[in-house]
């Protein structure tokens, strides 16, 4: 998984997913989008990561770090773009 880069697991109906994707797009941060409503294996992975919950967005970074339902501030800090 690490060689794939940032992966964003989410759903099309999730407002937080739209916000996270907008942040990534605005800052030209490359990622792969995976809709867990369309990918059963991805949905199972998200549930495994989140102790049985389909918490989205779930961001999985190449170094193994994971952010779940991050705020815009958490995203900015993770990418060194904020305080």
CA distance 35 to 15: 13
Q: How far is CA 70 from the centre of its chain?
A: 8
Q: Is the pLDDT of residue 3 over 90?
A: no
pLDDT at 2: 41
Tens digits of residue pLDDT in 9-46: 999 999 999 999 999 999 999 999 999 999 999 999 99
Tens digits of residue pLDDT in 42-76: 999 999 999 999 999 999 999 999 999 999 999 99
Domains of the chain: 2-78 (3.40.30.10)
CA distance 36 to 59: 12
pLDDT at 4: 72
CA distance 59 to 81: 17
């Amino acid at each position: 998984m690490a060689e794939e880069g940032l992966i964003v697991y989410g759903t099309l109906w999730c407002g937080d997913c739209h916000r996270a994707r907008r942040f990534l797009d605005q800052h030209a941060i490359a990622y792969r989008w995976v809709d867990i409503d369309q990918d059963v294996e991805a949905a199972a992975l998200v549930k495994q990561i989140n102790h049985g919950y389909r918490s989205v967005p779930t961001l999985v970074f190449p170094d193994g770090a994971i952010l779940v339902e991050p705020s815009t501030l958490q995203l900015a800090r993770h990418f060194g773009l904020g305080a």
